[in-house]
Amino acid sequence: MVRLELNVNGRKRAVTAEPRSMLLYVLRNDLALHGPRFGCGLGQCGACTVLMDGAAARSCVIPVSAGVGRSIVTLEGLGTLEHPHAIQKGFIDEQAAQCGYCTNGMIMTAKAFLDENPHPTDEEIRQALAKNLCGCGTHLRILRAVKRAAKEMA
């Protein structure tokens, strides 16, 4: 176990962890950030997605040591109940969830994508989310939410 300093949601956070342990567990268990979710531990579903230096990253397969010196943003760092981010608001307005377990990954992936491509076509949104899985079948609402957010942010 070693002491590490992480930059999470704009704040410096000191944690004691196994350097090889995955970032997801440190975020959830040590920093009590429950936006990122455990889905597969294999980088296959996207539920654990966070932003690292602005890029979407799967925190279940990234060792915590690799997060040192990077800017990490979780779902909680995007917006709040009082002031949700435009993408979060898009999801609320489109009622884009059933169980909501995949929502974190969808919003975080969309954030990194829209930052790169603020005026996407419908097909580009589908491709951007192609590696994020949803089991409940909420895809159509999620697509509408991202599209709405893109318009809002443009």
Partner 1 sequence: MNASAPSLPSRRQFLTRAGVLVVGFSLAAPVGDLLAASETLVDLGQPSAGELDSWLAITRDNRARVYSGKVELGTGVKTALSQIVADELNLPMANVEIIQGDTERTPNQGYTAGSKTIQFGGAQLRKAAATAHQALIEIAAKQFSVSPAQLVSDRGVIRVKGRRSKQATFGELIGGRHFSRKVDAHAALKNPDDYQIVGKPLPRVEMPQIAVGKFTYVQDVRVPGMLHGRVVRPPDTGAVKIDATVESIDESSVNGIPGFVRVVREGSFVGVVAETEWAAIEASRKLTVRWNSKPSLPDQDELYEALAKSPSDEKVVTNEGNFATALPQAAKSLAAEYRWPFQIHTSIGPSCAVADVRDGRATLWTASQGVYQLRGALADLLGLRPERVHVIFVEGSGCYGHNGADDVAGDAALLSQAVRSPVRVQWTRADEHGWNPKGPAMLMRVKGGLDEKGKVVAWEYQVWTATHVTRPGAIGQARNLLASQLASRMTPTGPMLGGDRNAATPYSFPNKRCVTHWIHTDDAILRPSALRGLGSFANIFANESFVDELAAAAGQDPVQFRLAYLSDPRAINVINAAAKQARWKRRSWSAPKLTADGVHTGRGISYLRYENQNTYVATVAEVEVEPKTGTVRVKRVVVAHDCGLVINPNGLKNQIEGAVLQGISRTLKEELKFNSMGITSLDWMSYPIITFPEVPEVEIVLLNHPHEPAVGAGEPAIAGVSAALSNAVFNATGARIRTGPLTQERVKSALAAKVASVRRTT
Binding positions for partner 1, rule: CB under 8 A? 1, 17-18, 21-22, 25, 28-29, 32-35, 37-42, 44-45, 47, 74-76, 78-81, 84, 88-89, 91-92, 95, 97-104, 107, 125-127, 129-143
CB of 67 to partner 1, least distance (A): 14
CB of 153 to partner 1, least distance (A): 15
CB of 121 to partner 1, least distance (A): 13
Bridge partners of 51? 56, 73
What's the angle, vertex CA 76, arms to CA 25 and CA 9, rounded to 5?
A: 80
Q: Which is nearer to partner 1, 21 or 71 (CB)?
A: 21
Q: Which is nearer to partner 1, 33 or 52 (CB)?
A: 33
Quick check: 92 and 81 in contact, CB under 8 A?
no
Q: How many CA atoms lie within 13 A of 121 on its CB side?
A: 3
Q: What six digits make up the tokens of 14? A: 């000191």
Whole-angstrom distance, CA of residue 145 vs CA of residue 154: 14
Q: Which is nearer to partner 1, 70 or 141 (CB)?
A: 141
Whole-angstrom distance, CA of residue 84 vs CA of residue 4: 30
CB of 139 to partner 1, least distance (A): 4
CB of 68 to partner 1, least distance (A): 17
